[in-house]
Amino acid sequence: MASAAGGASGKDWFDCLPDDLVHHVLSFLPALDAVRTSVLSRRWRDFWVSMPRLNVDVGDFRDDGQFENFTVHALPLLDSSVPLRSLRLRSSLHYLSALWVNHAVKRKVAVLEYSGRAELCSSVDASLSLASSYLTKVVLKHFDFDYGQFWPLIDACPALENLELLDVWTFYSVTISSSSLKHLRIVSCLFYNGFRINAPNLLTMCLDDVNVNGPLGHDSLVLENLSSLMTASVSVYHCFYPKHYVKTELHFFHGLSHARNLKLIAPLYEALFEEGLPTCPVFNNLKCLVLGDWCMAFDLYPLRCILRQSPMLEELCVELGEEECENCKNRKPAFSYGEISPFWCDRLKTVKIKCTEHDERFVALLQLFCKILVCIEEVDIDRQWVSAQPPDSSEL
C-alpha cells in the first residue's frame, strides 16, 4: 500500500494535498466517515477534528447505542477554536442532539439544519440553545415545541436572515419577530394557538399547507410590519381555519400589500382569504399574481376584487384544481357581497389559465377578461396549460 501510494519516491501522496483542500473534501462526508479517514495517514489523523462543516445523521449508525457512543467519544475531541460554517444534524435523540447543536453554537456556526425523524415528531431538549449572533440560517424539520423553547430565541439571533420551519407544530402561541430576517419558509406546520409574523426587512415569504388555529377572541394569523416584502406565496390545501372556529384575521391582505409577486392558492370558500376581502388594500407594487380556486367563488367576486385593487398588475395566472375541500365547498359566505362597479386593468398584458380540459369555469374567466380588458390593445390568453380549445366569440 505504501509503495502504491508513494510511487518510486516512497512519499505518501496524501502529504501533497493542502490543508484547505483536505478540509473541503471532508466537509462533504458524513461525520462518521470523516472520522474514519484518520487511518489514511499520520497527517490525516487529526484533520477531522477541525472540519468547517459537520454532517451528523443518526441513520449512518447501526443503532442509537452506536450513535451515542460516537457522540460521547468524538464530540469532545473536536476543535472548538475553529469557527463552524454549518451543522447538518438529523436525530430524534434530543438529549444527544442538544450536545451537537450547543457545540456548533459555541463554534459560531453560521448555518444550522436540524431535523428529527419523519415518522415521529421529535421534541426538543430543554438544554438546547440557539442564541447566537453568528447564525444566519436556521432550518428546523419534524419537531414539536413546548412553550418558550424556540420562539423567543429569534430575538437572540440578530444576524438571522433565513428561517425554514418544515413539519413543525406547537400548542402554544408563536411569534416570529425579527428585524434581520429576509427569507421565511414555513411548510406543513401546525400552530394551534395563533401565529404572528413581524419582520420589517423580510423579502420573501412562503406559507405552504400551514394550519393555524386561533385562541378564543383572538386573531389566528397576523401579518404585520412587512413593508419590505417582495415575493409571497400562501398555499392552503386543507382548511386554514377549521369549521366553526371563532375569529379570523380580517386584515390578512394588509400584510401582503407591499409584495411585487403574490401567489394565493386555496380551494373554494377559504376563510383566510374570503374574510379579508371586505378590507382588501390596494396592492400598489403588485406586478405578478397567481390565484387558485377560491378566487372563483361568489360569481368571481374575489378575483374581481383583487384585480380592481391591483393597478400595476402585469401578469395574472389562475390555477384551477380538480379537487375541492369538502368543508370549504359547503361553507356559506361570511359576508354579503355586492356587485363591483366597472374598472380597467390598464397594465395587465398576460393572462394564463391552468385548468382541466372540461372545466366550465374557463368560459366564465374569458367572459370576465373580455369585460375588463377592453382598453388593452393586445392580451395574451396563454393556453399552454389548457388542453381545451377556447370558446367561439359568439359564446361570449
Domains of the chain: 64-325+342-382 (3.80.10)
In this predicted structure, what is the pLDDT of residue 208? 93
In this predicted structure, what is the pLDDT of residue 193? 80
In this predicted structure, what is the pLDDT of residue 396? 36
Measured CA to CA, the distance from residue 111 to residue 183 in angstroms comes to 14
- Answer for the pair 106, 135: CB distance below 8 angstroms, yes or no: no
Kindly list the distances between the CA atom of residue 273 and the CA atoms of 111, 297, 333, in Å, as whole numbers in the listed order. Answer: 34, 11, 12
Amino acid present at 346: D
For the full predicted model, state whether its pTM sits above 0.95: no
3-state secondary structure of 187: strand
CB burial string 78-105: b at 16+ within 10 A, e below? beeeeebbbbbbbbbbbebbbbbbbbbb
Pairing of strands 183-187, 162-170: parallel
In this predicted structure, what is the pLDDT of residue 395? 40
In this predicted structure, what is the pLDDT of residue 3? 45
In this predicted structure, what is the pLDDT of residue 350? 85
- End-to-end CA gap in the chain: 81
Give the dihedral sign, CA 305/309/314/317: negative
Going residue by residue through the chain (396 aa), what tens digit of pLDDT does each one get?
344 444 444 455 666 778 888 888 888 899 999 999 888 878 888 889 999 999 999 999 999 999 999 999 999 999 999 999 999 999 988 889 989 999 999 999 999 999 987 666 667 776 777 889 999 999 999 988 776 566 666 778 999 999 999 998 888 888 888 999 999 999 999 888 888 899 999 999 999 988 877 654 456 788 889 999 999 999 887 555 444 443 445 578 999 999 999 999 988 777 778 778 888 999 999 999 999 998 988 878 899 899 999 999 999 999 887 666 666 666 666 666 666 676 778 888 888 888 877 777 888 888 887 776 655 544 555 554 544 344 443 443
Cα 113–Cα 115–Cα 117 angle in degrees, nearest 5: 165
